[in-house]
Structure 1
Amino acid sequence: MKALFIGGTGTISTAISSALVRQGWELYLLNRGNNNDRVPEGAKVIKTDINDEAGVAALIKDLSFDVVADFIAFVPSQVERDIRLFSGKTKQYIFISSASAYQKPLSDYRITESTPLANPYWEYSRNKIACEELLISEYRKTGFPVTIVRPSHTYDDRSIPLGVHGDNGSWQVAKRMLENKPVIIHGDGTSLWTLTHNSDFAKGFTGLMGNIHAVGEAVNITSDESLTWNQIYEIIASALGVKLNAVHISSYYLAECSSYDFTGSLIGDKANTVIFDNSKLKRLVPGFNATVRFDQGIRALLDNVLSHPELQKDDPEFDRWCDNVIENYKNSIKKL
């Protein structure tokens, strides 16, 4: 079996790439070659920019694939390009959408693939919805063999999954914990959230690859474990060996007083309770089961981050922002 991944070295795709090579797939990764240290031994790299459509077309002219998956398509124009490039050259095209595309606010906290798609708070999610609509239309008109995958919050061993962090990643929040500084948790911390380790995501994804029953379908791939944000932050602090010093601040307050896109990432996503029904995935991939509990995954993640200084990216601007927001919030409470 032969697959082409556009990207293939990101948080989600690295675990899938490694799994496929172990399973004996002939794997091509089409990317700019910026993360060669994450390319599994045995994969073949086509070094180019996917946005150079004519150049890509020339490079793959004599190639065809059982599966093409695009991990870096975010807007309809990129999907339109993929349709032009891969029509007639693949038996299955997998588009990585997002569970943030589901309606906000939710009419039912239990999310299935039939939950409506509508997110007025986040342009990222609306663009994913538009990509899905374009692909399904193409499937209906021409038979373009699309499978849509909707991941939720998937993490690996390099970046700590959190609700509130700056543009330079999440290390600064862990650093605040280690320094016993107050850490912001959005809302009251009791909404439920789902975190999925990328090795578990890879099990579901590889099971959909080459699966004729998945063509024309949209499928959630998440863990069945649900945790409150309070539990998530407590687990992280415990794994760091420190006591959590939490300050709960309204998601709407954070969105209003910040240049960070908390309207999209919180109001349009993480501030909502989400519990996913993975029944469809389990029908399509018999035996699928997410096995990495968050407390296990976070310990391995933190061991890796703490032993690799290059993953500890300081964010002094976000640190100052946290201090200012917390101080202003506490002062406003005192005035009541």
Structure 2
Amino acid sequence: MRALFLGGAGMIGSAAAARAVASGADVTIVTRSAPARPVADGVRQLRADVRDPEALKAALGDEEFDAVVNWVGFTPDDVSAHPGLFTGRTGQYVFISTCSVFGRPVPNLPITESSPRRQPVFGYARDKIACELLLEDAYRSAGFPLTIVRPFHTYDATVIPVLAGWTAIDRMRAGRPVVVHGDGTSLWSLTHSRDFARAFTPLLSLDHAVGESVNVVSGDILTWDQIHLTLAGAAGVREPLLRHRSSESIAEYVPGWGEVLEHDFRHSMLFDTSKLRALVPGFAPQVSFAEGARQSLAHYDAHPELKSVDQELSRAFDALLEGSAPQQATGGREGSAA
């Protein structure tokens, strides 16, 4: 199988490329600059701006592929030229979207591929919906061989998958309280990038997947308290201090978190993985979050240069917990909801 990855040098793309090569695929990735992550042996690299149709066409020449995967389509402008560019030169075009496209709160749980898509405010998800609709129209009107793949919150050893990132771990180890949104009981799902790659790779060049959308998630169910407690255990902290505050009050002190908390993280997200398991028989996640958390902490402890504490965010947490005036921290975000 010949697979072309547009982008594919990020966390989940690089894991998928490595898995595809290990499965015997001939993989080419196109990136605008040298990838920040190591590229698996056997992957061919091309340089071009994948959002520039003419540059991409020049880089690819007249090559054809069994599957083309777009990892870096975030707005309709990023994908509008692709039906014309790839019709006739690939048997499958895979658009990497996100499970954040589903309307919040979800009217019925668990979420399936047919759950309503709606997001009028959260820009990232709103733009992904627009991309999906544009490409679906090309499939319906002209037979463009589209498959939509939706990851959810994906992580690997390089990521601490909570909004505060390493700052949360540093506070836990120092015996200082960590803020958790809501009451800590809303439900969430985390998928290790290796599990994503194991589920994703068999979908490439799969005829039954053309015309379909597939949520590629682990199906594990965790509360936000469980996520923080598991990370604490991996960090060697037996009794972490978790303090719960409403999403609205957190956003007063960390405005950069307001949108993602209100329209994403505060809502329970449970997934029905029946469709994925039907298309990829026998798939089941192999990396538990307990194991993934241990890998992440071991990676950070082995690389002290990664232990970056956001002091502004930490001060905002303290002010929030003390009831002081908001100090307006921007706040970072670790992990991938895509």
- The answer as to whether partners of 1:7 and 1:31 remain within 8 angstroms in 2 is yes
Matched, 1:320 2:312: no
Match of 1:334 in 2: none
Match of 1:195 in 2: 190
Describe the superposition over 1:190-248 as per-residue Cα deviations: whole angstroms up to 9, x where unpaired. Answer: 01110011111111111111110000101111112101111110010011001311110
- The answer as to whether partners of 1:105 and 1:272 remain within 8 angstroms in 2 is yes
Match of 1:94 in 2: 94
Describe the superposition over 1:130-179 as per-residue Cα deviations: whole angstroms up to 9, x where unpaired. Answer: 111111110001111110011111111101111x32xxxx1222111121
> What is the DSSP-based 3-state SS (H/G/I as helix, E as strand, rest coil) of the residue aligned with 2:281?
coil
Match of 1:212 in 2: 207
1:158 aligned partner, one-letter code: T
1:252 aligned partner, one-letter code: E
The normalised TM-score by structure 2 is 0.92
Structure 1 position 37, deviation (Å): 4.3
Match of 1:106 in 2: 106
Mark the runs of 5 or more structure 2 residues left unpaired by the alignment: 327-338
Matched, 1:259 2:230: no
Match of 2:332 in 1: none
Match of 2:173 in 1: 178
Structure 1 position 312, deviation (Å): 2.3
Describe the superposition over 1:22-52 as per-residue Cα deviations: whole angstroms up to 9, x where unpaired. Answer: 1111110101233254210110100222233
The normalised TM-score by structure 1 is 0.92
1:6 aligned partner, one-letter code: L
- The answer as to whether partners of 1:98 and 1:150 remain within 8 angstroms in 2 is yes
> Which sits farther off after the overlay, 60-69 or 315-324?
315-324
Pick from 240, 245, 267: which aligns with 1:244?
240
Match of 2:160 in 1: 160
> What is the DSSP-based 3-state SS (H/G/I as helix, E as strand, rest coil) of the residue aligned with 1:237?
helix
Structure 1 position 84, deviation (Å): 3.3
Structure 1 position 309, deviation (Å): 2.5
Matched, 1:230 2:228: no
> What is the DSSP-based 3-state SS (H/G/I as helix, E as strand, rest coil) of the residue aligned with 2:107?
coil
How far, CA to CA, are the matches of 2:14 and 2:37 in structure 1?
11
Structure 1 position 307, deviation (Å): 0.6
Match of 1:142 in 2: 142
Match of 1:72 in 2: 72
When the two structures are aligned, how many residues end up with a matched partner?
325
> Which sits farther off after the overlay, 150-159 or 28-37?
28-37
> What is the DSSP-based 3-state SS (H/G/I as helix, E as strand, rest coil) of the residue aligned with 2:323?
helix
How far, CA to CA, are the matches of 2:148 and 2:72 in structure 1?
14
CA-atom RMSD in angstroms: 1.7
How far, CA to CA, are the matches of 1:150 and 1:22 in structure 2?
23
How far, CA to CA, are the matches of 2:319 and 2:81 in structure 1?
45
Share of identical aligned residues, percent?
42
Matches within 5 A, 1:29-68: 29-35=29-35, 37-68=37-68
How far, CA to CA, are the matches of 1:11 and 1:175 in structure 2?
23
How far, CA to CA, are the matches of 1:81 and 1:324 in structure 2?
49
> Which sits farther off after the overlay, 21-30 or 49-58?
49-58
> Which sits farther off after the overlay, 79-88 or 150-159?
79-88
Structure 1 position 314, deviation (Å): 3.0
- The answer as to whether partners of 2:51 and 2:79 remain within 8 angstroms in 1 is no
2:22 aligned partner, one-letter code: R
Mark the runs of 5 or more structure 1 residues left unpaired by the alignment: 332-336
Structure 1 position 330, deviation (Å): 11
Structure 1 position 313, deviation (Å): 2.7
Q: 1:288 to 1:63 in 2, by over 3 A?
A: same
